[in-house]
Amino acid sequence: MSTGIQSRIREFVYSGRYKKRNFGRNKGRWFWIILIIGLLSVFSSSKLKSIGEALTPPNLPELQVVNSKGQWIEQYWPDQNWGGSHAKVSYDTQKYHHISQGTSTLPIPYEWFIHLEQPDSSIWSFISSSLFSSENEAFSDNHYLLRFGFIRSPADPVHNPDGLPVGFAKTGSLNIAGYPTNTEGIGFSCAACHTSHFIYGDGDSAKEYVIEGGPATTDLGLLTAAIGATLGQTAISSKIPFFDNRFDRFARKVLGSQYSAGGKVALAASLANVVEAAQKTADIVEVQEGFSRLDALNRIGNQVFSKNVGIRENYQPINAPVNYPHIWTSPWFEWVQYDGSIMRPLVRNAGEAMGVNAHVSMTSPKNANRYDSSIPMANLVWLEDFLKGQQFNQGLTAPNWFLTEIDRNNPKYIQGKALYKDRCQGCHLPVVGDPALAEYIGPIEYLQNGEPKQTKGSVLKLKIIPEKQIGTDPAQGNVLTTRTVNTAGDTQGPIAQIKNGLGIDKKICGRDANQIYRNELFNQDGPVYLVDDIEVKDGGDISFAYALGALVQQTIDAWFEENGIDDDELKDGFLGERPNCLQAGKGYKARPLNGVWATAPFLHNGSVPTIKDLLCRTEEERPRFVQLGHLEFDAKDVGLKQPDKFDTKAQKYLDNNRLYTEQGYFILDTTLMANSNSGHNFSSEYDPDKHYSKQKKGVIGPKFSSEECSAIIEYVKTL
């Protein structure tokens, strides 16, 4: 560049004409550039980094149930005795998918959920959209919600008016923290956690197979984070003068014909209050759950004994996640839950509803509707009856294998059948359909006031294997044996104002007052009778298991009273004609394996991806890392398809403190607490000359040869 031209440029700049012309023309742009630089400096401070993180939604997997053209792939329902067809569910199944349990699992009004936008991907894209008024798609759109692992469900004017995924339910007149009045809430039905799906097939010919009663593939932690981000962004938008575009769009949809400046102010105040209330109940997570898993038991305890009553000392960090259990045949079991801890169906189901935020009046005066709740007990009874059917193996049945042809006359299948009988049936009982299973069906026997009693109906009596024998991860089984709660009221918080604490005062059925802590009693020879006379009362350090069983029953009793149900026979019908028995520390139950092929990942904590990994590989040979969240099914090894050389890839993510891959899938590290893939091990260390109780911990049978492995998998597909 010549010296003359340089001089002219210098003269132009110093003359001030450059600044005047450009700043005058672009003063608005310069203002926002300066503002953004200021915001950058603010959000780079450690104090406010957490705010930026809370406003940033999680990275999600791409939508998996669309083809290369972006169209929904075909859904297919195998026959499970619930009517409908392979292309359409029945009326009752649709009802099951969306029937209310009286919950506000998502702690916002239903109408807010429908009208919220998807969160901007970062705080900076949020600032940009605020300035330039770019509208996002609805948060409730299936194209977004299905990325959390939910399943597409057709719109229905009765059960699903807004076309939400399986498991979402609307409930009228709920008390939502921070909201000024009762309003319609949005929560989860039973189906949210107990309906599964997978993808099988090549390219655009692949189908989405929906398994009723199977383990959900959802990641509720990611959903919670995404809702927090979109609520936070909307709340902040309401406070930005002249640039409240996101909030204004939300207000126009929610307020409708009542939209006004005053209406916006009131809505903004409600939004701020709801967000603040939600922040106060945020969870502490020690073990990440990820896709397909939830620490349901600790979450129930936290909701009931900590969040509902404001006792922080009763809070337990999330540290014992389990794979959502499959529930066909379950209504017939004597004991349910992985650890075989609950007997009465309505106690189990009402407790679950309380855990996903059904409202229970726990801090009202004792004689003023204490334990009144939003739980529609009749709905829970309908759910149980629909699942159970009138006779054993009616109601919801296990899905039959339909992905490949199986020749039952093939020597491999015949060999597998013999292996199953020899090595599996001793714990898991004869297969469903085998007349020999009748030996394990009978009434429940217990003592009441010292007198022998038995139930009218029969149940399937499963074997519960001690943890010290089966060797699988102990975290979930330890919750009920180690956790205690304070219900006496001598603490800080709302309950301190209530005379005599929570008012727990109930007789339940159990072993005796001490057995819940003494695991060795469950392994003694001879019968140990259940006793239906154990009193549970308030205390500063009482068994969580007994306290929960008593409190849930008192909530059911309050519902009986509110609805004028005083006939004992009618009450007994609601209660499933079973005593309210609880036990803890006995071990993990070995349920029949009908339909097990469709329930990956395996073991109670979801730490093993395929049946081949579970049966044919020792603990040392099983994969250390398991990818969860991808829906592709592995028909050869039977379970979740895993990426090639995943251990190497996963280690790189964990080295950078990331539990999710770039694609948004969860990495389960089996070396971490509660994630162990140990136990249930067929091993060369098995000693055929020793009793099963004397084997090395976790060793349950001799190692399968390659031929035997192929045979047992072929047979298990047909269960």
Alpha-carbon distance of 74 to 217, in angstroms, equals 18
Alpha-carbon distance of 186 to 106, in angstroms, equals 6
Mean pLDDT of the chain: 89
The residues, ordered by sequence, that sit 6+ positions from 415 with a Cβ below 8 Å of its Cβ are 707, 708, 711
Alpha-carbon distance of 294 to 693, in angstroms, equals 31
Strands 633-634 and 639-640, bridge-based pairing = antiparallel
Q: Name the residue among 662, 664, 660 with its Cα closest to residue 149.
A: 664
Asked whether 284 and 315 are in contact (CB, 8 A), the reply is yes
Tokens in use for 107? 């702690």
Q: Name the residue among 148, 147, 141, 150 with its Cα closest to residue 63.
A: 147
Reported as a pLDDT band with limits 50, 70 and 90, residue 496 is very low
Tokens in use for 701? 């049978």
Strands 681-683 and 699-702, bridge-based pairing = parallel
Average pLDDT score over residue span 167-182: 94
Least confident of 239-248, 566-575, 628-637: 239-248
Average pLDDT score over residue span 53-75: 95
Q: How far is CA 713 from CA 601, 610, 656, in A?
A: 15, 10, 37
Q: What letter would DSSP give residue 62?
A: P
Q: For residues 138-175, b (16+ Cβ closer than 10 Å) or e, as one string?
A: bbbebebbbbbbbbbbeebeebbeeebbbbbbbbeebe
pLDDT, tens digit (0-9, with 9 covering 90-100), for 376-385: 999 999 999 9
Residue 97 or residue 19, greater confidence: 97
Q: Which residue has the tokens 């899938």?
A: 665
Average pLDDT score over residue span 643-650: 91
Alpha-carbon distance of 285 to 295, in angstroms, equals 10
What's the confidence (pLDDT) of residue 45? 57
Average pLDDT score over residue span 450-471: 92
* Domain range summary for the chain, segments of one domain joined by +: 3-44, 51-282, 345-397+431-590, 600-716
pLDDT above 70 as % of the chain? 89
Alpha-carbon distance of 389 to 384, in angstroms, equals 9
Asked whether 371 and 114 are in contact (CB, 8 A), the reply is no
Alpha-carbon distance of 279 to 587, in angstroms, equals 36
Count the residues in the chain.
Answer: 719
298 has pLDDT over 90 = yes
pLDDT, tens digit (0-9, with 9 covering 90-100), for 387-428: 999 999 999 999 999 999 999 999 999 999 999 999 999 999
pLDDT, tens digit (0-9, with 9 covering 90-100), for 205-251: 999 999 999 999 999 999 999 999 999 999 999 998 888 999 999 99
Secondary structure of 166-233 as H, E, C letters: CCEEEEEEECCCCCCCCEEEEEECHHHCCEEEEEECCHHHCEEEEEECCCCCCCHHHHHHHHHHHHHH
31 has pLDDT over 80 = no
Reported as a pLDDT band with limits 50, 70 and 90, residue 712 is very high
Least confident of 31-40, 288-297, 340-349, 464-473: 31-40
Asked whether 233 and 112 are in contact (CB, 8 A), the reply is no
Average pLDDT score over residue span 493-512: 72
CA Rg, the chain, in Å? 28
pLDDT, tens digit (0-9, with 9 covering 90-100), for 516-570: 433 333 344 445 568 888 899 998 899 999 999 999 999 999 999 999 999 999 9
pLDDT, tens digit (0-9, with 9 covering 90-100), for 99-129: 999 999 999 999 999 999 999 998 778 877 7
Q: How far is CA 544 from CA 316, 363, 431, 482, in A?
A: 11, 19, 35, 8
Alpha-carbon distance of 451 to 309, in angstroms, equals 38
Average pLDDT score over residue span 52-62: 90
21 has pLDDT over 90 = no
What's the confidence (pLDDT) of residue 125? 83
pLDDT, tens digit (0-9, with 9 covering 90-100), for 136-158: 999 999 999 999 999 999 999 99
Alpha-carbon distance of 180 to 223, in angstroms, equals 25
